[in-house]
Chains A and B, each alone.
Chain A
Amino acid sequence: MELPALIETNLPVLVVIVPLFGGLLSLFTRRTGSWAWAALVAMATFALAVLLLDRVRASEHGVIEYFLGGWPAEYGIGYRVDILNAYIILVVALIGAIVTFYARHSVNDEIPDDRHHFFYSVWLLAIAGLLGIPATGDTFNIYVLLEISSLTVYTLVAMGHHRNRRALTASLKYLILGSIGATFILLGIGYLLMLTGTLNMADMHDQLMKMKELGTLDENRTLLVAFALLMVGLSLKMALFPLHTWLPNAYTYAPSAVTAFIAATATKVGVYMAFRFIFTIFGGVYETSATGLNMLVLTICACIGIIVSSIAAIRQDNVKRILAYSSVGQLAYIVLGFSLVNQTGITASVIHIFNHAIIKGGMFMAMGCVALRMGGVTLDHVAGLGRKMPVTMAAFTIGGLGLIGVPMTSGFISKWYLVNAAIQEGLWWVAGVVLLGGMLALIYVWRVVEIIYFRAPTSDAPAREAPLGMLIPTWLLIGASIYFGINADFTASIAATAAELLMQGMN
């Protein structure tokens, strides 16, 4: 379709600029106008993301390059969008738009009216930061956008203090740990700048390959330190065991809409950054294979993370906390996928990014409905809700089935690819850990489902079903998880193409 030239030529950067300025302008809105403006901007951003994916698929090499200010690659900041980037941008923009529509009732309830314009302003800035990270092709720009998204998310999490003051300490802990992680990433980028003299990711890769041919990379300690620092920083952002400790508190005490949004997007974008650094920049430089030391550390940390987080989830009494520990485990699946360094593994990672985003987003939104009607989300609050809020609880249960990996849900597709990838590498114990994680997920999901449906309610207070404005977004995501569980063509084909592109850098 024909677009105005302004939009067509600037598409990669528009997905960042529209929510950025939308967030700034949101400061001038008041009360219900704040939500309406945020919803409008989020819809516009989603439309731009869809257009971007369409343009990328239609372009000749499957890549759109855009240079800010017209400055060419060596001097300027380049935005480079290929199929993987466009896919992640689509996921983030989709979740952003859906949760913004969901946020109306939830935010009205949990945050004072005079704070709404601030809240939605920071909300849109978070969307802008999280969309910029997949769009950019410049390492320092990725650091800046990472900090934009992180700072806004710290603020959003701290907004939960109107309900529970622990949101403040949770946010501060997240801030300190997150800043340390981002500073490690900055140090790693500094070492890479020292080695290659450039900040553009594609250019960095070329320089490193040239140096490798010249032999200057053998036993090069600068490169090793760069890789180590980057991996530590990224592991913290991806919430990989043992650097995941900020996640449970931050997810539990944040406002419901915020949790639904960041659970689905913030850590996934961290995984995307890991893809870029490991496969695009370092790809082919180190002899990385699944049993090489670099990746084996990731594999082991991911496996331990799956088991430890699932066991921790079983013991919790707050349903949001259960879902938070479950998120740590699911993220460990994603990391496990790409640490196997074969095409099926990376496909599994990319598919699970999408699947987990929609499942967890849907489940946290269901819990937000419960918080709205019941005032809390502990097991006492959800007891017996299967009868009073059947639609919401059905969404939660189906999402739970997706976490376990029951066939016909999207979680099954991801686990299928993951186990295949593990068997391809000959690492049978990894496949065993994946299945064990599924069984542990069964325990903690079914514990909650049993209490929802088969236990008497703790209070006789009547509970109505959640408002339609919250139910529709929840069911949109859960319905998507069922649809993409039955018909995974779209997600699987894009993931396979993305995996192929990433593996190309390895050779």
Chain B
Amino acid sequence: MDSLGYYNYWLTIAIIMIGFYGVIAKRNLVKQIIALGLFQTGVFLFYVSMGVFRKDGEDGQPPIWSPLTDENGRTVIDQAGYAVKELGVHDNPLPHVLMLTAIVVSVSTLAVAAAIVVNIKRRYQTIEEDEILAIEHSEAAGVTDPAGADPKGQIEGQTEGQTKSRIHIEDATEPEAED
């Protein structure tokens, strides 16, 4: 039953799969972005688990230099006057450092995705993926480039400031009276 001891990796798989499921199955764009972040978090756990040191009952300590003390409890000083440092049995700090970078990457991705979703909300008035697809399919009936056919005219539909959370698809392609 050695595999039970690897519970870190089981947890990694669970987190990655839950995140992946969220990206695929959720219709709300913000939920998809959150699930994407969760997906990447599983990878962080994977790397950090990789760095742990275990050997014959000796557990790895955090990789921090500490001053070497002699039998009387005083710090050992070398010829130049500096305290001598020692590093005991320690975990590998490299995966932690790599994951710091990867966390930054994940947050940057989240930021760009959030900016895009804010703009999608502003232009489509919805962030439900199925509604957005319905809008795009219905306006694609003419298969003309909206910018070419009527620049910022009828196809854009709603004026700024209208905040309906659900759109009737038939209304979306009707020209606004004031345009």
Contacts and interface: CB of A to CB of B under 8 A. Distances in A.
Interface stretch (A91-99, A164-172, A210-218): A164-172
Given A164-B145, A165-B156, A183 B119 contact: no
Interface stretch (B62-70, B71-79, B109-117, B162-170): B109-117
Contacts of A169: 120, 132, 136
Nearest to A182: B105
A62 B111 CA distance: 41
Interface stretch (A262-270, A289-297, A369-377, A414-422): A369-377
Given A168-B123, A193-B95, A375-B151, A151 B116 contact: no
A180 B145 contact: no
Interface stretch (A41-49, A153-161, A237-245): A153-161
A186 interface: yes
Contacts of A168: 116, 119-120, 123
Contacts of A317: 143
B123 A161 contact: yes
A187 interface: yes
A147 interface: yes
Nearest to A168: B120
Contact of B109 (A179, A190, A375, A378): A179
A175 interface: yes
Interface string B116-155: 1101100110000000100010000001111111010000
A176 interface: yes
Interface residues on B, range: 35 or more
A380 interface: yes
Contact of A380 (B29, B116, B123, B144): B144
B66 to A, nearest CB: 22
Contacts of A318: 143, 145
A179 B40 contact: yes
A172 B23 contact: no
A175 B148 CA distance: 26
Interface majority SS (helix, strand, loop, mixed), chain B: helix
B43 A187 contact: yes
Interface in B15-54: 20, 23, 29, 32-33, 36, 39-40, 43, 46-47, 50
Contacts of B149: 376
B159 interface: no
Contacts of B102: 143, 186
Interface majority SS (helix, strand, loop, mixed), chain A: helix
A89 to B, nearest CB: 23
B11 interface: no
A158 B144 CA distance: 20
Given A175-B112, A380-B144, A140 B151 contact: no
Nearest to A166: B136
Given A161-B123, A180-B20, A375 B147 contact: yes
A180 B39 contact: yes
B124 A165 contact: yes
Interface string A250-280: 0000000000000000000000000000000
Nearest to B113: A175
Given A168-B120, A374-B148, A378-B144, A140 B108 contact: no
Contacts of A380: 144, 148
B147 A172 contact: no
B101 interface: yes
B27 to A, nearest CB: 13
Nearest to B92: A197
Interface string B1-24: 000000000000000000010010
A151 B112 CA distance: 7
A78 B117 CA distance: 38
B136 A147 contact: no
Given A140-B98, A151-B108, A176 B147 contact: no
B109 A175 contact: yes
A163 interface: yes
A344 B46 CA distance: 40
A459 to B, nearest CB: 10
- Most chain-A Cβ atoms within 10 A of its Cβ — which of B20, B109, B119? B109
Given A165-B124, A179-B36, A193-B95, A376 B109 contact: no
B113 A172 contact: yes
Contact of A375 (B39, B112, B148): B148
A267 to B, nearest CB: 19
A436 B101 CA distance: 46
Given A166-B136, A180-B20, A180-B36, A144 B101 contact: yes
22 contacts: A140-B101, A144-B105, A147-B105, A151-B112, A155-B112, A163-B147, A164-B147, A165-B123, A165-B156, A168-B120, A172-B113, A175-B116, A176-B23, A176-B32, A176-B36, A179-B109, A180-B20, A180-B23, A194-B50, A376-B145, A378-B148, A380-B148
Closest 3 CB pairs of A and B: A376-B148, A165-B123, A376-B145
